Chains A and B, each alone.
Chain A
Amino acid sequence: MVNATLAPEATERAARDRSAAGVRGRARHRRRQAVVAYLFLAPTLLFYAVFLLLPLGFALLLSMSRWAGFDLGDIEPVGLDNFAGLFADGSTFLAPILTNTLLFALGTVVLALAGSVLVATCIDKLRFQGLWRTLYFLPIVTTVVAVGNVWKYMYEPGGLVNGVLNTLGLGSVAFLQDPDTALPAVVVVQAWASVGSAILVLTAGLKSIPESYYEAAALDGAGAVTVFWRITLPLLRPSLLFVCITQFLTGLQSFALIIVMTRGGPGDATNVAALEMYRQAFSYGDWGAASAAAFVLFTVVLAVTLVQLWLFRRKGEDA
């Protein structure tokens, strides 16, 4: 078989100019490689068509339509009415929902950053680093249903947190039932769950600071606090910035923890934009308002993403 197919090719090649045949062979090889490449990419491109482009178009269409949700033929275009409805007087979308979203994201960033900076700078000098890292990582691999339910129970009058407060002689707090404490209480849990990965990034950042800087500072007689403010913190800035922005982006989008813990309550005290989108769609069947809310939140997320890209590109040019 091989000989049979090779033989005519060999004689053909011998008969023609060698370089011309080489070019032709390469062209055929290249064409075959293109076919193979698109075969390898086919599942991915098909997926993008059905689960990326189609849904994006559909969501955009829905955000500008009114639809009861059954027959696709009943989709009724209403222009920008859904968006106008979100920002109309008396709408809860701007306040408290969108403000809650920003507070939730900001609060998580501040708490997680403070915690991870403290732990990461200390952990660097200790033994058993692997053990500490494992422990701090546990929440990251745990399902949100477990995290949410355990903390919900811990916040209850008969739960651990109030148990500690009572032991200290303080009164119980109805953390998740009081509109004033519900959002901070959920923020604490989200921060608790994300400290581990922030520690990881910051630890890597710390390791990249040259040892000689610290030695020079020690020779100059700088104290621990001075070293931290003058050397560690400035040189850690890229890692800090990265943690801030990615954590902020995650915070803007997260709502699984809130569904498990409070479902947005009491009232709208812990309701965030992504949860509002979810409820409008799957609880009230208002697909138009839900899709409009999704695109408003997407605009915010996109803006933050672009700021991130711009910041890191600028940093890249400086370096």
Chain B
Amino acid sequence: MIRRRFPWLSYLLVVTGAVLTVVPFLDMVMTSFKGPDEAGTLPYRFLPKAFDLSNYRAAIQQLDLPVLFRNSVVATALITGSVLLTSSLAGYALAKLRFPGRDFVFRLVLSTMMFPPFLFFIPHFLILVHWPLAGGNDLLGRGGAGLTVSIVALAMPFLVSSFGIFLTRQFMISIPDEVLEAARIDGAGEFAVWWRIVVPQTRPVLVTLGLLTFVDAWNEYIWALLISTANPEVMTLPVGIQFLQDYVDPTRTLPIVMAGLVLSILPVLVLFLLLQKHYIRGVMLSGLK
């Protein structure tokens, strides 16, 4: 790299930027320790008077945090599991199997990525509400609450990822055909070839895809908000915390909300720090987040 005459200028810029990025997180953590009269009052103070954990205890109780946590875990696990399974199955078919209509299906997968998510909130919600023979609905989808009564509703619109299919397909194309052919001659069926050879070979890309999907699913807000409004029992962490913030006295509950937020972002943060390389590669592959 070229020698800069003023490397300190670069350091100054990068460090300033990093501080600006991190300060809101520190402010969140500091506020989570503050007493009810300490947050949002003048003059502003960065540090709390004492570091006690009462807000965390309050968050766990007032928010019914274990239930929110369970709902978030179930929805995230369903989405991540399903995306990994369907992506690697479809990706394998599109990369390595020969069948009529393959180009058409592949082009279909690509073209679905043109449709932005906001276009689907309304019809997806209405489809789940009017799902036939679910949640008290009749055959024509009338009379009940449909699939919104089930926790599965949180995951339904995200069970398949076109980007995931595209990603695994691109990765699987580089597996040599001879390896697969050898396994077939040895008597392995296509399912065995997929599970024993293709899936292990594509583990890096599956880890990346799983991580991206996990983070997105864990942080998903709008859809979870819609489903939770219809059925509060399946409320997820982000929705529950926002609910507390909106409907209880905001200034007094602020430290509790911040404590809840710290707890809710911890799992993703830990996972990100542990598997950072995989995640960053995923963001590179998906273009921009």
Contacts and interface: CB of A to CB of B under 8 A. Distances in A.
B219 A143 contact: yes
| Interface of B (DSSP majority class) | helix
Interface stretch (A17-25, A34-42, A78-86, A173-181): A34-42
Nearest to B113: A305
Interface string A278-309: 10011000010011001101100110010000
A33 B97 contact: yes
Contacts, number: 288
B17 A136 contact: yes
A286 to B, nearest CB: 11
Nearest to B17: A119
Interface stretch (B50-58, B59-67, B124-132, B199-207): B124-132
Contact of A291 (B18, B46, B122, B222): B122
B176 interface: no
B215 A141 contact: yes
A227 B89 contact: no
Nearest to A57: B123
| Interface of A (DSSP majority class) | helix
B11 A48 contact: no
B150 interface: no
A51 B157 contact: yes
A59 B125 CA distance: 11
B272 interface: yes
Contact of B115 (A56, A143, A149, A192): A56
A310 interface: no
Nearest to B89: A40
A297 B123 contact: no
- Interface size bracket, B side: 35 or more
Nearest to A247: B288
Interface in B197-222: 215, 218-219, 221-222
A72 B141 contact: yes
B11 to A, nearest CB: 6
Interface of B: 1-7, 9-11, 13-14, 17-18, 20-25, 27-28, 31, 39-46, 85-86, 89-90, 92-94, 97-100, 102, 105, 108-109, 112, 114-127, 130, 140-142, 156-157, 159-160, 165, 190-191, 194, 215, 218-219, 221-222, 225-226, 229, 237-239, 241-242, 245, 254, 257-258, 261, 264-265, 268-269, 272-273, 276, 279-280, 283-284, 287-289
27 contacts: A33-B97, A33-B190, A41-B94, A43-B85, A59-B120, A115-B17, A119-B14, A134-B273, A142-B219, A143-B218, A145-B238, A145-B239, A145-B264, A146-B28, A151-B24, A154-B27, A157-B40, A160-B44, A196-B21, A200-B283, A201-B284, A217-B2, A224-B6, A259-B221, A277-B121, A282-B226, A282-B229
